[in-house]
Amino acid sequence: MATMDACDLCNCVGNTPLIRLGRVASGVVPVEVYGKAEWFNPSGSVKDRAGLNIIRTAMADGRLTPDKVLLDATSGNMGIAYAMFAAALGFRVKLVMPLNASPERKHILRAYGAEMVFTDPMLGGTGAVRKAREIAQSAPEAYFYANQYDNDANWRAHYSTTAEEIWRQTQGRITHFVAGMGTSGTFVGTSRRLRELNPAIQCISLQPDSAMAAIEGWKYMPTAILPKIYDPRIANENIEISTEEAQEMTVRMAREEGLFVSPSVGAAASGALRVAGKLGVGVVVTVFPDAGYKYMSDTYWDDANGNTTVPRN
């Protein structure tokens, strides 16, 4: 296994740009609304930050060694981050994910050489977590169970990088931080550090409006297995976003901002705009987890006649 110091790819994680929304945010001017474009990370998503820190921490303390396989449950993006780093550093990875993960995700993971175990799609991410735990318990000597939902290295990645970058990029002017929750690592870690830098910053969490909502990577906390890293005391407010709202904004982002993004970005943008709409002035920052390339097979882009589902402006 290569050392972290020898991994040039690892040095490419972070320092992603902050993009100000224009046309979709025209109704909230003079409030400034920004999204942190995490698809600039090497595997294409925000999960590179947490994945790298989980691996770095486990290698440093001896839990991840050349003879062990990194094992975790994933909805896709964290698995892709793990698989990329595994290929670069020379270790093996086994990923448990729902069978209905997008074809694009499966193709990417196969390209990196990851082993995949699929679970009942009706059980969602919860089913994948349970299966990963079962595998880990069956042969603890064979696996490093990364356990992204309970691993403090997840939120600490955002505490030490994402928050510091946002603070620097806004020159300390940020007034509101808005982020969706899956593992909750992005929201928890970034919020904790921003509050240390300025206790007046408002931190708003986003989640789907039901357990059946289809916003990739997000969790409906009332019915999910709660991640141990999740702290419900952090949020000043929680906003629920529907699948339809997320998908509509995703198409609008492509048509009106030139940003080809994922539904989780559409949901984050919708949440940030809702927050901005209640303000007279302010600087609202959210996290845009990934681009739209892993979602090209999703049906919301086109209706039955092949026309866009959202009218062009």
- Catalytic residue list: 47, 264
Eight-state DSSP code of residue 309:
S
d(CA 149, CA 226): 8
d(CA 132, CA 124): 13
Is 94:114 a contact under the CB 8 Å cutoff? yes
Residue 26 corresponds to which tokens in the numbers above?
Answer: 């025209």
d(CA 274, CA 52): 32
Is 71:132 a contact under the CB 8 Å cutoff? yes
Q: What angle do CA 147, 153, 155 make, to 5 degrees?
A: 100
d(CA 171, CA 86): 36
Number of neighbours of residue 111 by Cβ within 10 angstroms? 12
DSSP for 96-147, please give it. Answer: EEETTS-HHHHHHHHHHT-EEEEE-GGGHHHHHHHHHHHHHHH-TTTEEE--
Q: Listing from the earlier edge strand, what are the strands of the sheet with 18-20?
A: 18-20, 32-37, 283-288, 176-180, 202-208, 237-241
Tell which residue, 88, 114, 42, has the closest CA to residue 290. 42
